[in-house]
Amino acid sequence: MMGIHRLVFVLFRQLGRETVYAPGWRQNFNTREFAELYNLGLPVAAVYFNIQRESGSGGRRLYH
């Protein structure tokens, strides 16, 4: 996909060791529901940034 993409990283403090399973898909992922499911509480940090592929750059392409 071309265009600008926003990447968001959210950091939670876990209360203890627990196995966390990746969701089956990322489309319409709900961070609040995920945090509630694993009893993560409120985020302790977050960062986001926008990325865009440079025109003419080569490399492997991933299709979803």
Q: Pick the residue with more confidence: 64 or 3?
A: 3
Is residue 15 in some structural domain? yes
Residue 21 lies in a domain: yes
Is 64 domain-assigned? no
In a domain, 61, yes or no: no
Which pLDDT value is given to residue 64?
A: 61
Q: What's this model's pTM, rounded to 2 decimal places?
A: 0.63
Per-residue pLDDT at 55: 72
Instruction: Specify whether the CB–CB gap between 31 and 10 falls below 8 A.
Output: yes
pLDDT tens digits, residue range 5-60?
Answer: 999 999 999 888 988 888 888 788 899 999 999 999 999 999 999 999 877 666 66
Cβ 47 vs Cβ 9: under 8 Å: yes
Q: Which domain holds residue 33?
A: 4-52
Cα 53 from Cα 51, distance rounded (Å): 7
C-alpha to C-alpha distance for 55 and 35, rounded to whole angstroms: 37
